[in-house]
Amino acid sequence: MQYSFARYFMVAFALLAGGSFAFCQLPDYHVKMITEQQGLKIAEFTSIAKDKKGFLWLVAQNNVQRYDGKQSWSFPIEEVAEEIFIDNKDRIWLITGSGVQLYINDYAGFRNISHSSGKEGNPICMFNHQEGLYLVMRDGLQVFNEQQQQFVLSGKPVLKVSRTISVAKAADERYLFFASADSIYSFDLVKRQLTSLNFRHRVQSFVALSGNDILISVSRFKTYYANFETRSIREVDASEIGTATNIEFILVYSGIRIKQDQYLLSTTQGLFEFDYCNLKFRKPVFYYRGDRLNNLLSVRWLFKDEDGLIYMTHADGIVFYNPQLSGINYLRNYTSENASLPDIDVRSFAQDSKGDIWIATLNGLASLDMKTGGLKTLFASKVPDNIDYPSIRHLVFHDDFLWIGTGGKGVWLYQPETGKFKRPVFAQDSIGQITQKTFTSEFAWRLTPLANGDVFFAGGNYCYVIKHRTLLVTRLSRETFPGISRSATQDSSGRVWRGTASGLSCTDSSFKLLFTIKDSLPDKRVAAFCEWKKNHMLIGTKGVYEVQTEGNKIVAFNRLPWSPQNRFVYCMEKDKLGRIWMGTEEGLYRYDPFSGKTEKYGSADNVQPLTFNSNGLYLAPNNLMFAGGKSGMNYFDPLRIQSRKAVLKPTTVSFIINDDDSSFFIRQQPFKIAYANRNISINISAPDYENPFGILYRYKLKKNSSKWIENGNSRFVRLNNLSPGHYEFTASASRDGKQWFVAGETVSFKIELPWWRQWWFIGLILVTVAMLLWVLYKMREERKRQKEHQRTIDYFAHSGFEHSSVDDILWDIARNCISGLGFEDCVIYLVDRERNMLVQKAAYGPKSPKSFEIINPIEIPIGKGITGHVALTGIAEIVNDTSTDSRYVVDDEKRLSEITVPIIHQDRVLGVIDSESRKKNFFTKRHLETLKTIASICSAKISRAMAVAEMQGAERQLSELNTKMLETKFMNLRLQMNPHFLFNSLSSIQHLIVSQQTNEAYKYLSVFSTFLRSVLQYADKTVIKLDEELKMLDMYIRLELLGSDKVFEYTINVDEQLEPEDILVPPLIIQPVVENAIWHGLMHKEGSRKLSVSFQNNADEHMVCIVEDNGIGRSEASSISKKNLNNFAYHSKSTALIRERLQLLTVKTGKPAGIEVEDKLDHGKAAGTIVKIIIPFYNPDEV
């Protein structure tokens, strides 16, 4: 049994090694590699691990590196570093040749940790266990004491061995395998059960396969398989592997579980996958960036993280992949035996009836057997009946033929089973000849099999239909299909869509044009179509548009917001789940039209890095998606491509303040940062090894703030000149700018106030400023008082009191003493020499609540009290405390200090200025000097005002006497009425009575009596209202009409702008003029007699009364009047009296008034007289 098992094991290795050279296998895994270009410092790494934040830790003899995908941090070690270990608490441990070190932080690096060592004190390995962290020493196990922070012997015995441990390896946190000089052991940490096997070899390494199975490599480059359950050990004999290698021995460096019972082994003969349950080996094929990964013999150390990613140390860097995920495969320079891809510029794909994939390239055709990886090529040649053009644009497998569209020689058909080419046929007429000529030189953009079996050929110049079976070619009209084609398809409704360099067109199945779209596309190139559901066609151009149809009409046309912005879509294909795959110049996009979610796959996802070709996407019947571009091809199962679920773990790795990052590691948060040192640089890390340079970063400075500050792809944040205050720096990272991952920890710091904003400095400044302000205030107040005193003195010095009364001067002195000198009150007395008394004449303050009014004025005898004493002596005084001065006389209330200054003119005291204050010692010498100056200045003005007042009194008495004389004269003038009018009126009344005209006599007498009463009523008035004057004038004219046998017409008009009830006029000033007009103008006229009296407003300055008649005129009236001396005398006298009355009013009021007379002429003959009386607008107080 032992022999058969060993032989089976060796045969498995032989099949593995020998089979690897039988043919070129398609990739099993596509890996990614971290090189120096990504910031890793390449070295001969001896150990690798990954912490929970995502950092890789790499050991290389005297150095440890921490790496996050973009940046590495180096920690030099003085001893030889052997292994890196990360415990369950995410602490980083380093095993060296003589001890154990623990990573503290970037500032302190690694620190030695004590252990209880005996003679054989060198550590071998560490492992996690539910009871704690164990350290395997050569003389036994030690556990880490969290309180003492050192490794100590366990309180209860865990493992006792009498031999020195040379090599140890833990498995599943339960089993510990170790070796001594003559045995190997398996220790079950749960059951506390130790099992040993005799093994007299020097062990180099263990690979733990399970709790019972291990691989053991020894120093003689031999490897053994041991099973503790069967207590058997088997040697792996490398010589049995085969003749393909000259290596006689095999040694396993390390191993890692990739599936339940499958391990990946790194050996002296490369990498192997080992199924230890079935004892099967296979050599996996790794590809990197489209080419086979070389130098696999350099792989030594393996590590698997919690996400299933496997990391391998390689001569060129760190290689990693996930064996559990089906990703995107990438072939660039694929070779199988003696065949290679004709070119890396891959244009199109098609799957034939055998399942082989045909690949169109820039330089020929190839078929790929997806089962064996075998590759066959077809190249253009000049052999008859063979394709003679290398550049292939499009492939279609249809009707058992591979249809080949070339880049300049039309379409060929190839039958894979026979290996023969053929061409379509043409009609045997002139049209067929023309069609053949253009067809055989056509650039093939797209071959589209139609629902009826025909093939639609979209060429560069023309479009064609190739009939089913017969292969007869028909060229379509350029009127229907103009322009250069770029793409074509037939939808589920049978419509044919064609994209060109200038838009798109759509026809029915018989190629009748339905509609076109041109101007609505910013970039008119249409390179791809994809119908994602019936009547919903996606258009690939710069971005993606959707055309919705109903019947044969467009009902909606929109640009889809999810489409790649500013990216040209060259090809589109729908997978079995209805998701749309798109090829652009920057990678592949996958769009789910049902959820609206879009995902991008780029070079980090193993996608060929250059632009994809038109027609580059193809979904094969075997459900594999193929994608061709300028730098190779991709293939993958679209149903197994999973969305990225790996989270980012952003963290702050450095916090530098003015080039010093020690605060971040040795000081407690929140950091206190001096205001002068607030230039901060923060380094954010979000470990990612697939696309680290595509990570986006942002941050915020307040914990509860929703405002994130975008930082683009830069991981470095520079904060300059932050304002003082508390900050909580929170970092966030994203792969696509949509899903963001926030750091679990924040960095708290405080920008301290600058020294000039510290409380002590502010307090000092406030005290200093307060003192300075107090001094300045005092100086200002003193200066202000000086200015106020001087201003008060200047005021009185320059005041124009020449026309002011004594009272005005005294009240002005009192007011300005209060306002200018800041006194509480001020009272001014004048001397009454007749009574030898001081009389209060003016006051400001409590004594005078109203202007020019004194409450309870008092009189003080000269010589009594302080004021009387100053008036008597003429010497000014200040009494600082009135309570101690018996002379003090209380006025309105008792006050505590008083100042009294005499007003002296020509050695004679005219009065006294007195002021009191409620405060003791209020008045100063400056007050005294100021008041004395004011009194001196004002004394002369007061004396002059007294003299002027006496002169004005005399003038006023004289004026009153003259006024009385003028009033007397006015009354005399008003009483001088024409006796002729009175006698005539009485005679008329007598005549009416005698002639028994009683009613007329009564009416006449009534008007006459009313008129006389009015005349007598206003006889003593200087002026009356205009409406009263109009009433008397109307009555007078009516009396004249009643008393005369000569009838005349009259009118009285008043301007609408005049208000008679408010205008004042001298009484009976108009009547004499009207009387002259009647008796001297109208009574001597034959025919129509008219009299007009009007009152007009002249520019609101005065009123003009115009008396106009159409009588005989002044010249003839004068002649008649001379014959009647009495009438003439009265006429002359009445006019003179009016003029004299108006002149007297002018003298009295100062407003000009007058009378003007002019003759009316008609062709040189007198036609009447016009008299204008100018009467000013008087105020009642003027007259």
DSSP class per residue in 1128-1141 = HHHHHHHHHHHHHH
Angle at 129 between CA 123 and CA 134, to 5 degrees: 20
If DSSP codes are grouped into helix, strand and coil, which group holds residue 520? coil
> What does the chain come to in residues?
1183
Q: Which tokens go with 182?
A: 């003559």
788 vs 299, residue with greater confidence: 299
Q: Is 390 exposed, middle or buried (0-12, 13-18, 19+ CB in 10 A)?
A: buried
pLDDT at 803: 55
> CA 145, CA 44: separation in Å to the nearest integer?
34
> CA 697, CA 741: separation in Å to the nearest integer?
10
959 vs 295, residue with greater confidence: 295
DSSP class per residue in 393-445 = EEEEEETTEEEEEESSS-EEEEETTTTEEE--B--SSHHHHHHHHHHTT--EE
pLDDT at 1136: 77
> CA 686, CA 652: separation in Å to the nearest integer?
9
Can you list the positions of beta strands (E) in 906-1061? Answer: 908-917, 1024-1025, 1049-1054
Q: Which tokens go with 790?
A: 């001087």
The yes-or-no verdict on residue 93 having pLDDT over 90 is yes
If DSSP codes are grouped into helix, strand and coil, which group holds residue 680? strand
Q: Where in the chain is the domain with CATH 3.30.450.40?
A: 763-951
Within 8 A by CB and 6+ apart from 1071, the residues are 1032, 1033, 1036
- Look up the pTM and report it: 0.65
Specify the range with the lowest mean pLDDT, choosing from 121-125, 356-360, 412-416.
121-125
φ, ψ of residue 913 to 5 degrees: the values are -100, 125
The yes-or-no verdict on residue 392 having pLDDT over 80 is yes
Q: Where in the chain is the domain with CATH 3.30.565.10?
A: 975-1176
Give tens-digit pLDDT for 863-909.
Answer: 999 999 998 999 999 999 998 998 998 888 889 999 999 999 888 88
CATH architecture of 651-757: Sandwich (2.60)
Give tens-digit pLDDT for 45-82.
Answer: 999 999 999 999 999 988 999 999 999 999 999 888 99
Whether the CB-CB separation of 179 and 199 falls below 8 Å is answered with yes
The yes-or-no verdict on residue 513 having pLDDT over 60 is yes
Q: Where in the chain is the domain with CATH 2.40.10?
A: 44-113
DSSP class per residue in 1141-1181 = HHHHHHHHHS---EEEEEEEEETTEEEEEEEEEEEE---TT
Residue 950: which pLDDT band, with cuts at 50, 70 and 90? confident
> CA 620, CA 3: separation in Å to the nearest integer?
48
CATH number of 975-1176: 3.30.565.10
φ, ψ of residue 196 to 5 degrees: the values are -130, 150
Give tens-digit pLDDT for 633-686.
Answer: 999 999 998 877 778 999 999 888 887 777 677 677 788 888 888 889 999 999
> CA 686, CA 233: separation in Å to the nearest integer?
46
Q: Which residues of 1007-1017 are buried (b: 16+ CB within 10 A; e: fewer)?
A: bbeebeebbee
Q: Which tokens go with 814?
A: 């009192």
CATH number of 44-113: 2.40.10
pLDDT at 3: 34
Whether the CB-CB separation of 526 and 504 falls below 8 Å is answered with yes
Give tens-digit pLDDT for 711-738.
Answer: 999 999 999 889 999 999 999 999 888 8
DSSP class per residue in 799-815 = ---TT--HHHHHHHHHH
Q: Is 712 exposed, middle or buried (0-12, 13-18, 19+ CB in 10 A)?
A: exposed
**Beta pairing class for 364-368 and 859-861:** unpaired
CATH number of 763-951: 3.30.450.40
> CA 784, CA 926: separation in Å to the nearest integer?
13
Write the single-letter amino acid at 1062: D
> CA 469, CA 13: separation in Å to the nearest integer?
53
Write the single-letter amino acid at 140: G
pLDDT at 963: 58
> CA 929, CA 436: separation in Å to the nearest integer?
130
1007 vs 242, residue with greater confidence: 1007
Give tens-digit pLDDT for 129-156.
Answer: 888 899 988 888 889 999 999 998 876 6
**Beta pairing class for 1049-1054 and 1090-1098:** parallel
DSSP class per residue in 102-118 = EEEETTTEEEEE-B---
